[in-house]
Chain A
Amino acid sequence: MRRADEDQRLDVVATVNGRERRFSVLPRLSLADTLREELGLYGVRTGCEHGVCGACTILVDELPVRSCLMLGVQANGKTIRTVESLAEGSSLHPLQEAFRRHHALQCGFCTAGILATSQALLAENPCPTREEVREVLSGNICRCTGYQTIVDAIMDYAENGQAGVAGGERGPAE
């Protein structure tokens, strides 16, 4: 049985962004802090640290979860993807490109969580309606209130896919 006292680190083996990683953490460390502090993945953001804001959303076994509401020790045996897994070298993922085109980034604090949420949405439903995108995004709080352009970007990517045609039917909202 995996077990540790409060001042004792527990070994964890997980596939993080396609690579097997071994690390050890105290039970009290959240997965969000584990990814940031132990693995240097600073793309993982924390806002509220109690599940409400969605900033820390990452993919665990391809499903979106709040990394502030999971323990680092619970990552053992899991496959984890953070925003760092999206770009290939210096070329952005088409979804990231769509965000850039539509000025959906603004301050960018919520963006990593929103990318994880929208990736999971698009995997399940490649052609969402604007309403469906809005409903899913209601779980991610953007304090720049930029939902309009974020929805535009996700719709553009959904409609034009990998091709990433600039603008698309709707055109960027200025």
Chain B
Amino acid sequence: MKFPPFSYACPTSLAEAIDLLNDNEDSRPLAGGQSLLPMMALRVAAPGMLVDLGDIEMLRQNMVLPESMRIGAMVTHATNAASLDIWMHFPLMSQALHHVAHQAVRNRGTFGGSIAHADAGAEMPLVVSALDGMLLLQGREGERSVPAADFFQGHYTTAIESGEILTGVEIPFSDMDWAFEEMARRSGDLAIAMAAAGVRIEDGVCRKARLMFGSISDRPVRADEAEAFLIGRELTPPVIREVSAMAAAGIHARSDTHASAEYRLSLATALMRRALTRLATGAM
């Protein structure tokens, strides 16, 4: 279907964009348009004005800082997937980006758009949560930052207030090894279930662990009991089996047209087992 009518503005500075969003009640930021425009074509959304963020140079940059990296909201999935800095510092993100849509969509879809959109089946919200990213929001009143754990509030729901723009995400470097696993119907489709696992192994035992699932619930969920169980243990096949089942056990899973809650939970267990097995055997 064709898009419903809307007015359009393409500001060149962040301040102008924020003013436009605040002065026009029915306005929405337009990033890559790879989620918003389909929703408009399907008449799920009909904003009166689109504020195109495409000409705001500062949103298109990634910056390597001493202990973290700041990823710009308007950096495309394709640019991040090809970035050596991201591959070096956040292998989890590089792995996950392979599963985001197809090339033609990755060429326009953006990191920030994906996070602001907060589809439960999207990869970047899980990655940013697993890596403890800080979401940077700019509004008329100034800048604030929100930890990922508080940012994602449900399917399509985040801590972004109307009139605010997500400028980027600051992600601290991690000393863990990471593995990402996903199940989707067809390569490039949204995930039915995904698992992210991070471990730090010293002297053969696990010293640090981070286990998270995506697309199982309405937002990324962390399996903290299972993480605690792993500490001090060796990643042997029986331990991996036990911890994977434990990680998926407490989660309230969602059912939709693609998969039942039971199926999602069994996938969650299997994907976590695969991720941890890869980490244990060094099969990156």
Contact = CB atoms under 8 A, between A and B. Distances in A.
Contacts of A153: none
A69 B33 contact: yes
Contact of A64 (B2, B107, B187): B107
B230 interface: no
Interface in B160-215: 186-188
B33 A27 contact: no
A63 B187 contact: no
A71 B41 contact: no
B252 interface: no
B108 A70 contact: yes
B41 A50 contact: yes
A28 B4 contact: yes
A138 B8 contact: no
Interface stretch (A4-12, A98-106, A160-168): A4-12
B258 interface: no
Interface SS majority for chain B? loop
A65 B107 contact: yes
A43 interface: no
A10 B6 CA distance: 13
A63 B34 contact: no
B223 to A, nearest CB: 31
B105 A51 contact: yes
A150 interface: no
B88 interface: no
Contact of A50 (B12, B42, B103, B108): B42
B54 interface: yes
A26 B216 CA distance: 41
Contacts of B187: 135, 138
A28 B16 contact: no
Nearest to B41: A50
B1 interface: yes
A97 interface: no
Contacts of B9: 1-4
A74 B7 contact: no
Interface string A113-156: 00001001100000000000001101100000000000000000
Interface string A57-71: 100100111101111
Given A49-B41, A51-B105, A65-B107, A27 B34 contact: no
Nearest to A3: B9
A117 B105 CA distance: 11
A1 B102 contact: no
Contacts of A65: 104, 107-108
A153 B3 CA distance: 36
Interface in B35-54: 37-38, 41-42, 48, 50, 52, 54
Contacts of B78: 63
Report, nearest first, the 3 A-B pairs whose CB atoms are least far apart.
A139-B102, A27-B8, A50-B38
26 contacts: A1-B9, A2-B8, A3-B10, A4-B7, A4-B9, A6-B6, A8-B7, A27-B5, A28-B3, A28-B6, A30-B3, A30-B37, A33-B2, A50-B41, A50-B42, A66-B104, A66-B108, A69-B34, A70-B33, A71-B8, A73-B8, A117-B103, A117-B104, A138-B186, A139-B101, A139-B188
